[in-house]
Amino acid sequence: MKSIIPEQRRSEILSLIKREIIPAIGCTEPIAVALCCARAAEALGHRPEKIAAHLSANILKNAMGVGIPGTGRTGLPIAMALGATVGRSEYGLEVLRDVDDKAVADAAAMVDRREVCVDLKEGITEKLYIEIEVAARGQKAVAIISGDHTNFVYVAHGDRVLLDNRSSATSESAAEKPVELSMRTIWDFAMTSPLDELEFIDQARRLNMAASEVSFKGNYGHSLGRLLQNDAERLIMGDSLFTRILSYTSAACDARMAGAMVPVMSNSGSGNQGITSTIPVVVYAEHISATREQMLRALILSHLTVIYIKQSLGRLSALCGCVVASTGSSCGITYLMGGGYEQVAAAVKNMIANLTGMICDGAKPSCAMKLTSGVSTAVLSAMMAMDGRCVTSVEGIIDDDVDRSIANLTTIGRDAMNETDAMILKIMTSKC
């Protein structure tokens, strides 16, 4: 089928997808902090003796409870020390891929000597803000990330400013033009783009399914993925396609949240969103022996739907990202069930009707449980859509128009849940 999206427009969408779907090792927020530390240390030109982080509340919330890859430790200080000592900013969100036992021991010693400190940045409105100060030999360097997990807006060595884009920094990278999307555009793009232009999305399948396999062989987080494969649990859940979808999705999250040194393909700055956008679609596609073309188009449909919703919601919010990512996977599964645009739109509405309001209380091992909740709803929503069942506009926040339904969801998550976000952080920090 010839693409019905003009070539220039298609190119813009492709560029957007490739910006938003990138490999990452570890939970994105502490890794972004480590990345900022690496850049600050590079600007300093010496091994830092002191490292200080000033972070937005949402960064702090998502970085407190997750394992740091290759360390066996949890939390920001070890990530910061590693980023500043062995991290390389050119690696992006794989900044810690050179970590070894010696590096971990040296970084842990810095933490033990209280050379690493973290605090909340006051007086900012940005939800994604990372400011790192490093010092050594009487010199100081500063690096700032804002709006996007890899978007540096300021770098300085002493009084010498190396980069300053702070005035143009917004909720997203100032260098990136917004790409206007709608569910109809997403459907047309996924269904009609030349297949060779979509081949890159297969890397998401390979990386994220590999993360599941690593998890099955180890003991990561709450091991929810492995639990769902146990004989005792199969007596309750059964050995079904549905169980396999839940097991593989939660397993990848188990490994990632526990700090396994394994890359996953992220979506819109989140590895868990990338996992949830990918694995349910792949498992379903493999089960029905879908063609390669069907699987690739389903994955593009899933991932681009997530990107679209996140454009409006923002990188970080009080709304759990699995709500968004599961909505994407529901679209992909609906298509693989034989659904067309109307059924996909119905699946989106069904998702929004069910999961709106699920809170994000930080990145942590128990995120695997939320992913299973989201993916369960994704399958249910797809089944309902294929049966001609769709939540109607007289029910809650659903609108007859699918794009307005999405806007209702993101308005709640972006604006109305801000007080919820503040209370979540207050509760989390009160336990420290």
Q: Give the pLDDT score at 1.
A: 60
24-168 CATH pick, 3.40.50, 3.10.450, 1.10.10, 3.30.1330 = 3.30.1330
For the four alpha carbons of 105, 131, 75 and 29, in that order, the dihedral sign comes to negative
Where are the CATH 1.10.4100.10 domain residues in the chain? Answer: 178-430
> 380: buried, middle or exposed (CB in 10 Å: 19+, 13-18, 0-12)?
middle
Q: Are 297 and 190 in contact (CB under 8 A)?
A: yes
pTM greater than 0.75: yes
The H-assigned helical ranges of 259-340 are: 271-287, 292-313, 321-336
Report the C-alpha gap between 379 and 326 in whole angstroms. Answer: 9
Given a contact cutoff of 8 angstroms between Cβ atoms, the answer to whether 284 and 241 are in contact is yes
Contact 230, 276 (CB under 8 A): no
pLDDT at 173: 45
Low-confidence stretches of the chain (pLDDT < 50) are: 169-175
Q: What is the pLDDT of residues 150-200, one digit of tens each?
A: 999 999 999 999 999 987 644 444 445 679 999 999 999 999 999 999 999
Tokens of 145: 């990330």
Tell me if residue 263 falls in helix, strand or coil.
Answer: strand
**What span, in angstroms and rounded, lies between the C-alpha atoms of 88 and 44?**
13
Res 134: pLDDT = 98
Q: CATH 3.30.1330 in the chain, residues?
A: 24-168
CATH 3.30.230.70 assigned to 178-430: no
Q: What is the pLDDT of residue 171?
A: 43
Taking the C-alpha atoms of residue 419 and residue 97, their distance in angstroms, rounded to an integer, is 37
Q: How many CA atoms lie within 13 A of 150 on its CB side?
A: 21
